[in-house]
Amino acid sequence: MGVGVLRVSARGRRRGMPVPGIPFFACTPPILPQSVLRCFASFLNSGHSPDQGVFNLPPSVMAHSSIFTPIPTLSLLLTLFDAAPSPHLHPVSWTSLISGYVRAGLPQQALHIFDKIRTIVSPASFPLLDPVALVTVLNTYTSLGKLDNACQLFAQMPISTRNVVAWNVMISGHAKRGHYKEALAFFRQMSKHGVKSSRSTLASVLSAIASLAALHHGFLVHALAIKQGFDSSIYVASSLINMYGKCAMLDAARQVFDAISHKNMIVWNTMLGVYSQNAYLSNVMELFSDMTICGVHPYEFTYTSILSSCASFEYVRIGHQLHSTIIKKGFTSNLFVNNSLIDMYAKAGALTEAAKQFELMTCRDHVSWNAIIVGYVQEEEEVVAFSLFQRMNLDGVVPDEITFVSVIDVCKGSAELNATGDQFMPISTRNVVAWNVMISGHAKRGHYQEALAFFRQMSKHGVKSSRSTLASVLSAIASLAALHHGFLVHALAIKQGFDSSIYVASSLINMYGKCAMLDAARQVFDAISHKNLIVWNTMLGIYSQNVYLSNVMELFSDMTICGVHPDEFTYTSILSSCASFEYVRIGHQLHSTIIKKGFTSNLFVNNSLIDMYAKAGALTEAAKQFELMSCRDHVSWNAIIVGYVQEEEEAVAFSLFQRMNLDGVVPDEVSLASILSACGNIKVLDVGQQLHCLSVKLGLETNLFAGSSLIDMYSKCGDSEDAQKIYSRMPERSVVSFNALIAGYAPKNIKEAISLIHEMLILGLKPSEITFVSIIDVCKGSAKVILGMQIHCVVVKRGLLCGSEFLGTSLLGMYMDSQRLADASVLFSEFSNLKSTVMWTALISGYTQNECSDVALNLYQEMRGNSILPDQATFVTVLRASALLSSLHDGREIHSLIFHTGFDLDELTGSSLVDMYAKCGDVKSAVQVFHELTIKKDVISWNSMIVGFAKNGYAESALKVFNEMAQSCITPDKVTFLGVLTACSHAGWVYEGLQVFHIMVNCYGIEPRGDHYACMVDLLGRWGFLKEAEEFIDKIEVEPNAMIWANLLGACRIHGDEKRGQRAAKKLIELEPRNSSSYVLLSNLYAASGLWDEARSLRRTMMQKDIQKMPGCSWIVVGQITNLFVAGDKSHPSCDEISLALKHLTALIKDNTFHDFLGRICYELLALMSGHLHPHLLLMGNFCTRSSLLASCYKR
């Protein structure tokens, strides 16, 4: 009879005998499992054959015992289990063994038992198993990462056994293993099956949502928590705070936190962690203060959260204070706190404190070693980092992925990187993590082709890519702009289901952006259902890099509408897109927002503000922001120095560079390159040589960036020999260094520059646009333009011209400067219809320079017709064209457009407007524009006003402006004095003119040019001081030019001094033998002196030499119609009518009806103007203005 279950009488029951169907041990005092096993072993040794009841007795005793079963006992049971016939095993035995092994911490043995059960029974028998045992197996599968087995078992479990605990195991198991979407899917299935969620359910699913940053799902689960009354649970509330924090919804996280009436340590730490992760240090410290006020004592995890937010140079002082508190509180022996201290000091660059804390530790783990090694790697202390790595190995701590990545970071070249990888990761251990390290290591070093090669090898070895793999390889593809590879990796991401991963999607957006595929980048962005801050910032960065400001601002608006709070990287992206003159106003508005949001203390944001203002030319604002910074790094100094160099404020740039050194900031390659550029611009070779010494001292002489700048500096200073020496010492020849050397040789030795291009090609380097532009810029004029045309052919052949605005503009300039207008026009027409503002402006400027101002204005109208918005350079160019044509109508239209398009009236545009109005005779408007200029720091605007007054006969006003200019501390230049001297000449202020000339030479040290001397001769000669004028010429140290002699000759004609006039004419004809003006002036002088024979002789000489007098011309603009009159030309349609009117007017003047005195004056005037165009012009104006149209007269 079996001894497992006995049926006894009622009498037996009264004696404590077992109830029928109930194991006897359930009715007796507890029996030790060891005793049962000993009895069972004796029973087997006696030779009896146990039946089903006997076999199931020991496991049953063990299952109902509250005493922990020793491992030897479990081993004996397992032996019995393996030996038992399958039909003899009862489900209770199965569950007992499984639970026993799980409780003993031996999950593999538990699964061994369960696997045997599955081979001998069908899934239909599972209901016989204890549900707790099934859940235990499920939990064992998930904890071991065997999610497929867990899913298979869960699917075979009857629905009745799938209780809330089973669902929780599946949800939390997938969430912990990073399968967040699957966790969400199980949660949805659970809801469909009507299983009510528990606190654990909501906490697990909120963890998955937080990792996905799936805010929409977070809202739904939050609503469910409120509905079920779990929102006040500490467990659920903490999960909600964490979820909102990961979704960058800090206000929502704080609302949940504030709603909790009784906060425990977990809740406080969660909220502190959220603020810390988002770098809200002020909120962290404020909350920490509230926590202590509320009597909640912090523990190690509290300090780790706060310390992580202090891990930067600007906040390390607060970290020091916290360290003191930690010592007082006695947490210095805690491993987590020590690791956080090392990490904080290392990331803040305080390596001395980090090393001290590291050495004080008695116990170190991977995190300790990694934190200190990473710190030294970041500070480029490679030797110390390697030494620590060796110590780590000697201490028996096996390097992990982070250690390996850190050590890889100090490997300089590709070969060293591969050798390090072979040393630390043998082929047998190269899992996906190892491959990721090599791919990312090469990508970070700039070895993008090698990174792609490792990715291909990884695929060949059958290793499946992870999210990290795809992100790293996409980074390499983005840097190479290898769009074809990008498409392939995108397809792989879709195949593996990683395209919806935030990490991979952000990398795809970046890759498409770098490949200029903005539509594709936007499609990836739009496909992401739940966008976090990283995704928004990536898309904003792409638009910003491609200068799509309208898209940037639109996306920023959408971001705020979606409730995503911008961080410092958001603002840096937007500010970089405003770094130009036309968009700086939007930058100003963003600056105001940054101040309101409290980001003014952030180093990255401050640097971006300085960079934006500097690149936009707003140096006052850039300098103000720079001075407000309490903490500056290399980027801060470089941004402000580069700004001043770009604006040609070299003196200020030098001063800032000195301040940088005095502040203890060691210049880097960017600092040196910027200041060397300033030396080259103003050709201060001695300063450049000192900087060369500094670069040698800092070990940057052969640095690609700094070395190329040294070559450029020496080239610009005319020292090609030293430039060549630097070039020969550079270990790596790049396009940049070649370009610097070519730019130096091109102006002086074009053959050497061309030979350097050949050398580039031999070395396998591809010449860039800058390479060819350096050559094109010197190929101007009839002698060199042929070479320029050959370069043009090479550029076309190499495919560089297609869409290159830079090259196209340079070629246009070359053709225009060589007077090959037809070639320039053909080149312009070969570009696509989408010609830029720069291209249009280059063409318009070329025609203006070649005295084709009418064509220039027509092109401007065509440009406007194509909806191309002019910029500052365009306006300056067309205003100059209007001034040359004296076209007041066009000038006013341009002024109106400047006003209505919202362009700020800067000095250059304002000066051009003043010049245009002055040359068109509208002095009143010129004065008005001049007074509207709020900033007049440049001499150009003052010169425009002075010259405008001078040419229109307002000498007194010109001198008044000159005095105002001196009072404004604006240093006058050569043009200023030329304008003042012209004013004195026209007004007859001889003494004042001589005084001004003296001031120019002796007070300002300005060496007079030919036009200054000519103006002085005109001043003296015009007002009868002919002797003094000739003596002045004799004293000129340089050879007098034709203009000087022409002015003396003109004065002699006015005052009838034929002898002095003959001397002047002789000199003038020697200088310009083909210029008809010299002959005409001398002829007129002879005629005025009655020397008719000499005049006729001079006319014959002109005929013999075939010197033609250039006919004069005058024109009158009535409304928008120009009427041109040329001397001797009677082709004008109104010519006959004008001649008849002149005859009638002459007869009328001779008539006695006129007053004698008035009639005599008019008659003399008509006699004087006979043969000239003035009467025709005036009468034409009289005919045309009968309809009240404005008429303007001009003469040349």
Q: What is the 3-state secondary structure (H, E, C) of 665-678?
A: CCCCHHHHHHHHHH
Residues 675-700 have a mean pLDDT of 89
pLDDT single digits (tens) 32-42: 555 665 665 56
Q: Is the pLDDT of residue 1111 over 90?
A: no
Residue 734 inside a domain? The answer is no
Residue 363 inside a domain? The answer is no
The secondary structure element, H or E, covering residue 259 is helix 250-259
Confirm if 211 and 178 have CB atoms less than 8 A apart.
yes
Which of these three, 497, 529, 561, is where a domain ends?
529
Which of these three, 474, 500, 529, is where a domain ends?
529
Q: Mark whether 1126 and 1153 lie in a shared domain.
A: yes
Q: Mark whether 6 and 98 lie in a shared domain.
A: no
pLDDT at 17: 40
Residues 927-945 have a mean pLDDT of 83
Confidence band (pLDDT; 50, 70, 90) for 721? confident
Q: How far apart are CA 677 and CA 196, in angstroms?
A: 71
Q: Mark whether 112 and 152 lie in a shared domain.
A: yes
DSSP 341-403: HHHHHHHTT-HHHHHHHHHH-SS--HHHHHHHHHHHHHTT-HHHHHHHHHHHHHTTPPP-HHH
Q: Mark whether 503 and 455 lie in a shared domain.
A: yes
Burial of 429 (0-12, 13-18, 19+ CB in 10 A): exposed
Q: Side chain identity at 67, as an amino acid letter?
A: I
Query: Could you tell me how far CA 891 lies from the centroid of its own chain?
Result: 37
Residues 1003-1025 have a mean pLDDT of 91
Q: How far apart are CA 539 and CA 521, in angstroms?
A: 8
Q: What's the mean per-residue pLDDT of the chain?
A: 80
Confidence band (pLDDT; 50, 70, 90) for 127? very low
Of 643, 529, 435, 672, nearest in space to 212 by CA: 529
Backbone angles phi, psi at 1125, to 5 degrees: -125, 125
Q: Is the pLDDT of residue 344 over 80?
A: yes
pLDDT at 467: 86
Q: How far apart are CA 748 and CA 786, in angstroms?
A: 17
CA distance between the termini of the chain: 139
Residues 573-581 have a mean pLDDT of 83
Q: Mark whether 41 and 24 lie in a shared domain.
A: no
How many structural domains is the chain composed of? 4
pLDDT at 275: 87
The secondary structure element, H or E, covering residue 696 is helix 685-697
Helices (H) and strands (E) in the chain, counts: 67, 3
pLDDT single digits (tens) 875-934: 999 999 999 988 888 999 999 998 887 776 778 888 899 999 998 889 999 999 988 887
Q: Mark whether 5 and 94 lie in a shared domain.
A: no
Query: What long-range pairs does 1136-1140 form, CB within 8 A, spacing at least 24?
Result: 1137/1183, 1138/1175, 1138/1176, 1138/1179, 1138/1180, 1138/1183
Residue 1163 inside a domain? The answer is yes
Residues 803-814 have a mean pLDDT of 84
pLDDT single digits (tens) 96-120: 666 665 655 566 666 666 666 555 5
Q: Mark whether 144 and 26 lie in a shared domain.
A: no
pLDDT at 418: 54
Q: Side chain identity at 516, as an amino acid letter?
A: A
Q: How far apart are CA 1111 and CA 514, in angstroms?
A: 61
DSSP 1096-1161: HHHHHHHHHTT-PPPPPEEEEEETTEEEEEETT---STTHHHHHHHHHHHHHHHHSTTS-HHHHHH
Residue 506 inside a domain? The answer is yes
Q: Mark whether 38 and 8 lie in a shared domain.
A: no
Q: Side chain identity at 402, as an amino acid letter?
A: I
pLDDT single digits (tens) 430-456: 677 778 878 887 787 778 888 898 899
Residue 489 inside a domain? The answer is yes
Give the residue numbers spanning the domain of 75: 34-162
State the pTM of this model: 0.55
How is residue 1003 annotated by DSSP?
I
Confidence band (pLDDT; 50, 70, 90) for 11? very low
Residues 377-389 have a mean pLDDT of 81
Length of the chain: 1196
Of the listed ranges 5-9, 321-325, 939-943, the least confidently predicted one is: 5-9
Q: Side chain identity at 305, as an amino acid letter?
A: S
pLDDT at 656: 94
Give me the residues paired with residue 1118 across strands. Answer: 1121, 1191
How is residue 1192 annotated by DSSP?
E
Burial of 870 (0-12, 13-18, 19+ CB in 10 A): buried
Residue 806 inside a domain? The answer is no
Q: Mark whether 98 and 14 lie in a shared domain.
A: no
- CB atoms under 10 Å from CB of 456, counted, come to 11
Q: Mark whether 99 and 129 lie in a shared domain.
A: yes
DSSP 277-336: HTT-HHHHHHHHHHHHHTTPPP-HHHHHHHHHHT-STTTHHHHHHHHHHHHHHT-TT-HH
Q: Which residues have C-beta within 8 Å of that of residue 322, sequence separation ≥ 6?
A: 303, 306, 307, 310
- How is the beta sheet containing 1113-1118 ordered, strand by strand? 1121-1126, 1113-1118, 1191-1195
Q: Is the pLDDT of residue 67 over 50?
A: no
Q: How far apart are CA 1150 and CA 1162, in angstroms?
A: 9
Of the listed ranges 230-234, 459-463, 1162-1166, the least confidently predicted one is: 1162-1166
Instruction: Spell out the SS3 assignment of 787-855.
Output: HHHHHHHHHHHCCCCCCCHHHHHHHHHHHHHCCCHHHHHHHHHHCCCCCCHHHHHHHHHHHHHCCCHHH
pLDDT single digits (tens) 1136-1192: 777 777 677 666 666 655 555 444 445 444 444 444 545 555 555 555 554 444 555
Give me the residues paired with residue 37 across strands. Answer: none
Residue 1180 inside a domain? The answer is yes
pLDDT at 622: 92
pLDDT single digits (tens) 279-291: 787 788 888 888 8
DSSP 526-584: HH-SS--HHHHHHHHHHHHHTT-HHHHHHHHHHHHHTTPPP-HHHHHHHHHHT-STTTH
Which of these three, 477, 499, 529, is where a domain ends?
529
Q: Is the pLDDT of residue 93 over 70?
A: no
The encoded tokens of residue 957 equal: 């006003």
Burial of 526 (0-12, 13-18, 19+ CB in 10 A): exposed
pLDDT at 69: 46
Q: Mark whether 156 and 100 lie in a shared domain.
A: yes
Residue 986 region, left (φ>0) first, then alpha (ψ -120 to 50), else beta? alpha
At 132, which CATH number?
Answer: 1.25.40
How is residue 195 annotated by DSSP?
P
How is residue 585 annotated by DSSP?
H
Residue 64 inside a domain? The answer is yes
Q: Mark whether 40 and 12 lie in a shared domain.
A: no
Of 1011, 592, 651, nearest in space to 641 by CA: 651
Structure-model confidence comparison of residues 276 and 1162, the more confident one:
276
Backbone angles phi, psi at 50, to 5 degrees: -70, 145
